[in-house]
Amino acid sequence: MKHPSTAMGPSKIIQLDSHEIKATKVEHLDPRRKVYRFHLEPDSSCYRHIVPEPASSIIIKQQKEDWEEEFENEKAAYTKLKSLQGEFIPFYYGQGYYDGLPALLLSDIPGITLHDLARSNEEVPEDLITSYLEDVFDKLSKCRAFHCDQKLDNFILCGDREHGYSKVMAVDLENVEIPSPVRRWYWSINQEGARSLMEDFRYRRNPRHESTPLEMWKVGQDKGAS
């Protein structure tokens, strides 16, 4: 059954395993993406076998138009990387249907994307962020999984300023590749991940003081050719 969005906002119902999960509030997190935060109805037992306590909200990631392959790839990545769920990637609760389209149900990660952090005035030691990113890429490499969409908004620094930060988690696994066999060049994807992301982080934090990572790469190529 389709519960269409209305002028009042996005639908507050998602279908999962013949159950209806209802929200008290729905936030559309990014106008460029079909990603929503569902604030769950309290004291509802119909979904607690799927979404455990104490979660009070979940993330709904709806399939984008003509992105069936990427959607299936992300679903497979969460399944194959189950050992990393809750620690380095979100928990995957299953596939449902939202507004008539397939959607992934994921745990809500408290924190801030590295993209938003770079654009804020909040000071977090860069060596701490780098260390957390290296942990993520190390765990992905041990699972022979390679994150091929390394953008700052695909990595969340978990925690907050008041209580402190504890780790970085990777999200948006549409372009995670888990090849078999693993060719030698795949390993460099994760090995260079932390360094590449931190270069982008520094540029976005101080865009007038540094060249972009792409410009720095071009300079290196020019020097190598001279």
Its pTM stands at 0.85
Same domain, 17 and 103: yes
The CA distance from 65 to 4, in Å, is 16
Q: By the 8 A CB rule, do 94 and 16 touch?
A: yes
Query: In this predicted model, what pLDDT tens digit does every residue of 160-194 receive, in sequence order?
Result: 888 889 999 999 999 999 999 999 999 999 999 99
The CA distance from 142 to 62, in Å, is 29
27 assigned to some structural domain: yes
Same domain, 75 and 124: no
Query: In this predicted model, what pLDDT tens digit does every residue of 203-213 receive, in sequence order?
Result: 999 886 555 55
With b for 16 or more beta-carbon neighbours within 10 A and e for fewer, the 75-103 pattern comes to bebbeebeebbeebbbbbbebbbbbeeeb
Same domain, 40 and 55: yes
Q: How confident is the model at residue 221 (pLDDT cuts 50, 70, 90)?
A: low
Same domain, 116 and 140: yes
Query: In this predicted model, what pLDDT tens digit does every residue of 46-73 receive, in sequence order?
Result: 666 778 778 889 999 999 999 999 999 9
Domain boundary, last residue among 61, 81, 107: 107
102 assigned to some structural domain: yes
Q: What residues make up the domain containing 118?
A: 111-205
Our count of domains for the chain comes to 2
